[in-house]
Amino acid sequence: MTPPDGLRGRLEPLPRSQLEADAPRVAPGLLGCVLRVGDRVGRIVEVEAYGGADDAASHAHRGRTGRNATMFGRAGLLYCYRSYGIHTCANVVTGAECEGQAVLLRAVELLGSDEDLAPVRADRPAARRRVDLANGPGKLCEALGITLDDDGTDLCGPGSRATLCYDGAAPRHRVARGPRVGISVATGRPWRFWVEGSPYVSR
- Under rule CB under 7 A, which residues in 133-162 are in contact with DNA? 136-140
User: Judged by CB under 7 A, how many residues of this single chain contact DNA?
Assistant: 36
Q: Rounded CA gap, 191 and 187, in Å? A: 9
DSSP structural state of residue 77:
B
In angstroms, what CA-CA distances link 161 with 36, 165, 170?
8, 13, 25
Using CB under 7 A, which of the segments 5-13, 27-35, 67-75, 158-166 binds DNA?
A: 67-75
> In terms of CB distance, is 88 or 167 closer to DNA?
88
84 lies in the site for DNA, by CB under 7 A: yes
CA distance from start to end of the chain: 33
Alpha helix stretches (DSSP H) within the chain = 23-30, 118-123, 137-144
- Give the per-residue contact string, 174-203, with DNA (x = CB under 7 A; - = no): -------xxxx-----------------x-
State which of residues 36, 40, 42, 50 lies at the interface with DNA (CB under 7 A). Answer: 50
| Of residues 122, 79, 95, 120, the one with CA closest to residue 16 | 95
* Contact between 151 and 72 (Cβ < 8 Å): no
Coil, helix or strand for 43?
Answer: strand
> In terms of CB distance, is 3 or 179 closer to DNA?
179
Q: Rounded CA gap, 44 and 175, in Å? A: 12
> In terms of CB distance, is 64 or 173 closer to DNA?
64
State which of residues 57, 131, 176, 186 lies at the interface with DNA (CB under 7 A). Answer: 57
Using CB under 7 A, which of the segments 12-20, 35-43, 85-93, 167-175 binds DNA?
A: 85-93
The residues, any chain, with a CB within 8 Å of residue 124's CB and separated by 6 or more, are: 132, 133, 139, 142, 143
- Under rule CB under 7 A, which residues in 93-122 are in contact with DNA? 102, 104
62 lies in the site for DNA, by CB under 7 A: yes
State which of residues 16, 87, 173, 189 lies at the interface with DNA (CB under 7 A). Answer: 87
Q: Rounded CA gap, 41 and 38, in Å? A: 8
Interface with DNA (CB under 7 A): 48, 50, 57-60, 62, 65-68, 71, 82-87, 89, 91, 102, 104, 124, 126-127, 132, 136-140, 181-184, 202
